[in-house]
Structure 1
Amino acid sequence: MDLVLSAADYYFFTPYIYPASWPEDDIFRQTISLLIVTNLGAYILYFFFATLSYYFVFDHSLMKHPQFLKNQVYREITFTVQSLPWISIPTVALFLLELRGYSKLYDDIGEFPSGWFRLIVSILSFLFFTDMLIYWIHRGLHHRLVYKRIHKPHHLWKIPTPFASHAFHPVDGFLQSLPYHIYPFIFPLHKVVYLGLYILVNIWTISIHDENGCKNGKLFSGELTKTE
């Protein structure tokens, strides 16, 4: 995230927002900047890709399904807009730890071919690690002690549209994103790769809430929902 923040400081925050006397590495300034960048980026990714998926992928005939709720798209968007700022708070805390040098993120590929080999292995490792942990986190969220209060709101959308992709209870949304954030604190990962994977994960989350994603994965209407 330091790559994004550095660009934001250079082109926007330093020349136009913050006083020149406020250093860029001040932790309070970094926290404010990260909150702005994280929320703005999340909203842009959500509205841009969910809109594309909604108009070009999603089967609009599903809106005639008896379980499709009244004003559902509006309700999905409203739920998301209200949840994302709360999800961003613990997320920014982890980004701040990355900025302060506590992660294993790096920006030098190193000698070819070992550097590139490590990079490719890290991508595969990232995908395996995050997918495995999200599976177990998702199962845990279906436990009867937490399901109704935390995870059930996301299952309100029986026939989800792409706009339901980020319509989580804030605790639910953060927990299911946590594996992506903790990976670089455990394993080395290139900064650009991390940023790219972070963006792709958000796009993937949207894509599994269109018609094809729901039919193929049944992630949100299949076996796990039996705890309702």
Structure 2
Amino acid sequence: MFVEENSNNNHMILGMLMPKWMWESLPHFYQTWMRNYISATIIYLGFGFFFYIYSYHLQRNIYFARESIPSNKAIFSQIIVSMKAIPAYSCYVTISEYVIENGWTKCFSRANDVSVLTYLLYLVIYLLIIEVAIYWVHRLLHDIKPLYKYLHSSHHVYNKKNIISPFAGLAFHPIDGILQAMPHLMALFIVPMHFSMHVKLMFIEGIWTILIHDPINVKNIWPMMGSTYHTIHHTTYKHNYGHYTILMDWMFGTLTHPKDDACQRCYILECNDLRLRTT
């Protein structure tokens, strides 16, 4: 059932974007990887440019001072890093689907296999596992010095408002990005999950990371980990490790709230100055 559903998805997406001779004779695994790679690239560039145009062109006079807008050079660098990593990310998603296809997880194929209430309960538990696990993976990538030095530090070169942009959302060392996405697969061995929803959430993961790297100073919807919270993470290096929400940071004492725009700029300068004096 899972293989059939994936095959239909492959034929639908690849059939819309490419001539059949380019993919139809490929093994199923490679078709799935190609579908995931093309989909991830479209999502990354599409949402990246959407938020870029919205933030830095349509709303720049509202949200940004001139000196806080990322340069074209910084944005281009983030795109290059991300495009190099997306093939590996796509391979990880494809492997996770392969594991599901072989029946090694608790995934179920049809939404009506369970009641609506059970479906929602599974979804909430799944998201809770993701929230806890990604918080700790992210925090350990900071706390374990070799992991930070060789993996996560390449993402934290984006440590000021004028070099953070939506395009930094996927600009990780490939192993770093895969480690932070690993809880999505691990959760499937713990809680039953609708296969189609799992795949959608993997791509929503990418959209979310793009969104929270858009450093707009807007009021956050509690308890969401908005871009203002995540911008603080990029400037202090030791706060706001959370993923979709700030709840784990609140529980484990790593939460720092955004200040108003003027204070926030001073706060960022102070934190960067402190970081430079202590490293």
Alpha-carbon distance in 2 for matches of 1:55, 1:85:
26
Q: CA deviation at 1:63?
A: 6.4
Alpha-carbon distance in 2 for matches of 1:11, 1:43:
13
Give me the TM-score of the superposition, normalised by structure 2. 0.68
Give me the TM-score of the superposition, normalised by structure 1. 0.82
Partner of 2:234: 220
- From 61, 64, 69, the equivalent of 2:67 is 64
Q: Does structure 1 retain, via aligned residues, the 8 Å contact 2:93–2:202? A: no
- Number of aligned residue pairs: 218
Are the structure 2 counterparts of residues 110 and 91 from structure 1 closer, same or farther at C-alpha, using a change threshold of 3 Å? closer
Q: CA deviation at 1:221?
A: 2.5
Q: CA deviation at 1:222?
A: 3.1
Partner of 1:169: 173
Alpha-carbon distance in 2 for matches of 1:35, 1:168:
20
Q: Does structure 2 retain, via aligned residues, the 8 Å contact 1:69–1:157? A: no
Q: Does structure 2 retain, via aligned residues, the 8 Å contact 1:214–1:221? A: no
**Percent sequence identity over matched residues?**
23
Alpha-carbon displacement from aligned partner over 1:182-206 (angstroms, at most 9, x marks no partner):
2223211112322332232221111
- From 33, 36, 39, the equivalent of 1:38 is 36
Q: Which runs of 5+ in 2 are unaligned?
A: 217-225, 240-274
Alpha-carbon displacement from aligned partner over 1:26-75 (angstroms, at most 9, x marks no partner):
xx812211220111111011111111111113575466249x56710000
Q: CA deviation at 1:11?
A: 7.0
SS at 2:156's partner residue? helix
Alpha-carbon displacement from aligned partner over 1:203-225 (angstroms, at most 9, x marks no partner):
11111101233323333333427
Q: CA deviation at 1:170?
A: 0.5
Are the structure 2 counterparts of residues 48 and 178 from structure 1 closer, same or farther at C-alpha, using a change threshold of 3 Å? same
Matched, 1:149 2:150: yes
Choose between structure 1 and 2 for higher RCO, CA contacts under 8 A separated by at least 6 residues: 1
Partner of 1:47: 45
Partner of 2:272: none
Are the structure 2 counterparts of residues 12 and 196 from structure 1 closer, same or farther at C-alpha, using a change threshold of 3 Å? closer
Matched, 1:206 2:192: no
Q: Does structure 2 retain, via aligned residues, the 8 Å contact 1:151–1:168? A: yes
Q: Partner amino acid for 1:188?
A: P
Q: Partner amino acid for 1:34?
A: T
Q: Does structure 1 retain, via aligned residues, the 8 Å contact 2:10–2:32? A: no
Partner of 1:79: 81
Alpha-carbon distance in 1 for matches of 2:21, 2:72:
42
